[in-house]
Amino acid sequence: MTTSGDYQVFEAGDVPLQSDVVFPSMRLAYKTYGSMNARKDNVIVYPTSFSAQHFDTEWLIQPGGILDPERYFIIIPNLFGNGLSSSPSNSGITPFPAISYHDAVAVQRRLLVEQFGISKIALVYGWSMGGMQAYHWAACHPDMVERAAIVCGSARCSPYNHVFLEGVKAALTTDPNFRGGRFIAKPTAGLRAMGRIYAGWAMSHAFYRDEVWREGGFTSLEDYLTRSWDEAFARRDASDLLAQIGIWQRGDISQCPEFGGDIDRALAAIRAHVLLMPGQTDRYFDVRDNEDEIGKLVNAKSAELHPIPSIHGHRAGNPINYPADRAFINAEISAFLKR
């Protein structure tokens, strides 16, 4: 383990990946909050979402909040490709290997076992790509996971979601600074185009129809797009974003080796209490995907589907600026942790 800034780094060594290559000297950046009790049974794992680093989502961790560090020992593992864990921007590896959620969760498990001696996880909580990791945790390591809360996530990337991500990739790679399969300079136009694509998909029809963006102090739709989305991804490395898009598109719990592509078998392997909380108006992770999944969680201790009643689209699951959505999630997780 090494320390860098306000977080630690787990040195995983050379890691065999699902893509049949070995990732040399793989590094997993993580941060912990709160204290582990003597029984080591108050652990929450909270994986990061697309392009996010731990400090982007740690607002959820506060006394009396959705994830309470006064009661739980919370670990945020940074997903590979986010610029803190091994990524194109910090590894010097070209081409960057195709990493899967299975690979990421396997290294996260090593962190918990080797660094902390953890054998049981009270809750894996994740939003978006974090939710997909939570699903992988529950399916691939059912002996460890007591509860899994999947917020605006799914067991695999749907074709509709895949197509959205193809648009994002096209925005980045048609920038003039993408040449010969790599970025020769920051793709400013591509990053702006990516933000505009995200603006349409991230929020709901009703959000724009009812001009809900005005609640944020924006004077016009263009003002909202310019100030909220044009620079939304400018702080990130474009190659890192492409790496994480690949992880997202490849996401599928049935591709873990023991399931052989059988999604029903993968879902049936889950033995945790499961809470599926899609956003009612989310376009990335449609409610119907979770509706299809819940009936196949036949061996789960319990399985509940509680959509977030919100017009904030995908962002209902990360509601830092939406008190009603935050209160809904807080109440659901508080009750879920009592199971």
- For every residue of 169-185, DSSP letters joined together read HHHHHTSTTEETTEESS
- For every residue of 274-338, DSSP letters joined together read EEEE-BTT-SSS-HHHHHHHHTT-TTSSEEEE--B--SSGGGGGS-TT-HHHHHHHHHHHHHHTT
288: how many CB neighbours lie within 10 A of its CB?
A: 12
Catalytic residue status for 89: no
Task: From the candidates 282, 310, 312, 325, give the one annotated as an active-site residue.
Answer: 282
CA distance 289 to 98: 25
Is 181:157 a contact under the CB 8 Å cutoff? Answer: no
Is 191:172 a contact under the CB 8 Å cutoff? Answer: yes
Catalytic residue status for 128: yes
* Cα angle for residues 228, 186, 162 (degrees, 5° grid): 65
Contacts of 56 (CB under 8 A, 6+ apart): 48
Task: From the candidates 128, 154, 204, 254, give the one annotated as an active-site residue.
Answer: 128
- For every residue of 180-242, DSSP letters joined together read TTEESS--HHHHHHHHHHHHHHHS-HHHHHTTGGGGGT-SSHHHHHHHHTTTTTTTS-HHHHH
Catalytic residue status for 282: yes
Lookup: tokens for 293? 């999944």
Write out the H or E segment, with its range, that includes residue 249. helix 238-250
Q: Which of 187, 213, 190, 189 is nearest to 200 (CA)?
A: 213
Contacts of 41 (CB under 8 A, 6+ apart): 120, 122
* Cα angle for residues 64, 70, 75 (degrees, 5° grid): 105
Task: From the candidates 102, 141, 312, 314, give the one annotated as an active-site residue.
Answer: 314
Which residues have a catalytic role annotated? 128, 282, 314
